[in-house]
Structure 1
Amino acid sequence: MIDSTSPSLLLGLIGSGIQASRTPALHEREGAEQGLRVIYKLIDLDQLLLQADALPELLQAAERMGFAGLNITHPCKQLIISLLDELSPDASALGAVNTVVLRDGRRIGHNTDWWGFAENFRRGLPDVKRDRVVQLGAGGAGAAVAHAALTLGTDHLVIFDVDPDRARRLAADLATRFGAGRVEAGENLTTALAAADGLVHCTPTGMANHPGLPLPFELLRPGLWIAEIVYFPLETDLLRMGRALGCRTLNGGGMAVFQAVEAFRLFTGVAPDAERMLRHFSTMG
């Protein structure tokens, strides 16, 4: 129960096209359950008519206004690294940050995305075959999800990106940690998907402000499972069309919740109730 003596915490999310984000409500409601007055603000680059190069000013302004932490999303997860004082081992290994703790004049970057995806996958698609998996997207979220996919036991991961060099760099980095035989940058999406057990989607396509499919519809087929990281909307075109074909699907809602579970702990020092946060998420419009 919150009262006038409850400790307060100011948090925010920096990203592009984030007006539909459920993260503020997740943190504020869990804070209230824990007796914390959490105020969570959206810092939407689109709404502010800013580009990602405004990050240094936004970060400095957040510090001056007393923010205790920030979540970071597309397109800032990699760009923000050069502005931080310290990285957690996960953030350093992944080269992407989605959570910044602002404490004692220091900016500490963390990555809770990979655990968020892994926990959602364990719960939602626990028994699917993972011999060969295709991943679309090699950006900040893609780096975290690829790490999670390999940690979960994917035998061979094939990564595609609109920037082939970025896919190659990510594959090379992952190979140093998981072994060269388990990951590669893809050359031919049609061939790779024909041989794949599942598809993981890690690009902004399908978000409310980036509608559409991230690949040609005819490449989808029954028997292919599809895991999505986009969660606004929860039902993307990719999931809807895949399900119509008979594909097993996993939406991005669970990843959004579980990355927030770990971020809440980092921001507050308090262990959140993950099941309660899942219930809160399910009641949001």
Structure 2
Amino acid sequence: MTQFRYLTGLIGRDIQASLSPMLHESEGDAQGLRLVYRLFDLAADGMDAGDLPRLLDAVQLAGFAGVNVTHPYKQAVIAHLDDLSPQAAQIGSVNTVVFQHGRRIGHNTDIQGFAENLRAGLPSGSRFGKVVQMGGGGAGAATAHALMGMYVGTLTLFDPNGARAAELCAALCALHGDGRAVVGQDLTAALADADGVVNATPLGMAGYPGSAIPQDLLRPDFWVTDIVYFPLETQLLREAKAAGCVTLDGSGMTVHQAAGAFEHFTGRKADAARMAANFHAALTGGTRR
């Protein structure tokens, strides 16, 4: 029997292929909750970052429990919130906004989602001495902090925005130890003795074709993971697999961050295993909602 009703959603750009509505609504159904999850695709609606304030006003006034936030607004949304969880404040990135007692509280469940995916998805004994990460935006901040928490020796960070990369590296070093995060200068040199590669850019998403790593720089002793999940096998992962690398797609991160967001929205603990089964069923031909 349905007991409670929740309005939720996702704010982002070029997100029509998102499986987040299915993930949240199917978990709500399983728990006897009437949960509606709506996409707010600013590209499709002819809006941009300047429209975030009025969009947040609208969903808050409409009685939404909260919204997820994805590329490219995980950092831009912070200026329009009343408070941040300690973790969101620490990394300067928000992927979940909860409306509570007239206030907007920003959270980040990407760190947990990424770390859980690595722990469960990479082979036992995988090395984390030196890792190269592509991308230092909102998602990249979360993955970088997760990697530091997993005792990566040195993280080399590449981002087209040099100032953003430097700022993130400084924050990582201040929290996790001097010299553990450095701004990348030469990708070939950084990959020469790397153990793993993380793509935290939108490259590979539907609407953002391409790969963050040139194919000829991939070596079979790498592990390679991508935060993109649609398509599940990005160009990077396809080329890495052909090169003999251990590869890990973004589905686990997506499921675990969604489970965390579901708990923030509803106060109910999500069944991550059930969400993962629903997610993969949808990807392999099940019903999407």
TM > 0.5 fold call: yes
Instruction: From 57, 61, 64, give the equivalent of 1:64.
Output: 61
Query: How many Å apart are 1:52 and its aligned residue?
Result: 1.5
Identity %: 53
Query: How many Å apart are 1:185 and its aligned residue?
Result: 0.8
Query: How many Å apart are 1:195 and its aligned residue?
Result: 1.3
Query: How many Å apart are 1:215 and its aligned residue?
Result: 2.6
Q: What is the aligned residue count? A: 282
The aligned runs of 1:50-129 (5 Å cut-off) are: 50-125=47-122, 126-129=124-127
- Could you list the per-position Cα deviations for residues 187-236 of structure 1 after superposition, in whole angstroms to 9, with x for gaps in the alignment? 11110011101100000000001011113221112111101100111110
Cα distance in structure 1, aligned partners of 2:147 and 2:50:
31
Cα distance in structure 2, aligned partners of 1:135 and 1:75:
18
Cα distance in structure 2, aligned partners of 1:250 and 1:49:
34
| Structure 2: gaps (5+ residues) | 284-289
Q: SS of 1:213's equivalent?
A: coil
Amino acid corresponding to residue 232 of structure 2 in structure 1: L
1:49 aligns with 2:51: no
The aligned runs of 1:163-202 (5 Å cut-off) are: 163-202=161-200
Instruction: From 10, 13, 16, give the equivalent of 2:10.
Output: 13
Cα distance in structure 2, aligned partners of 1:182 and 1:154:
8
Partner of 1:23: 20
Cα distance in structure 2, aligned partners of 1:148 and 1:127:
18
State the TM-score, normalized to the length of structure 1.
0.97
- Could you list the per-position Cα deviations for residues 218-271 of structure 1 after superposition, in whole angstroms to 9, with x for gaps in the alignment? 111211110110011111000001001100001000000000011111110011
Amino acid corresponding to residue 81 of structure 2 in structure 1: L
Amino acid corresponding to residue 246 of structure 1 in structure 2: G
Cα distance in structure 2, aligned partners of 1:13 and 1:206:
20
Instruction: From 149, 154, 159, give the equivalent of 2:157.
Output: 159
1:143 aligns with 2:109: no
State the TM-score, normalized to the length of structure 2.
0.96
Query: How many Å apart are 1:170 and its aligned residue?
Result: 0.3
Moved more, 237-246 or 50-59: 50-59
Q: CA RMSD in A?
A: 0.9
Q: SS of 2:190's equivalent?
A: helix
Q: SS of 2:189's equivalent?
A: helix
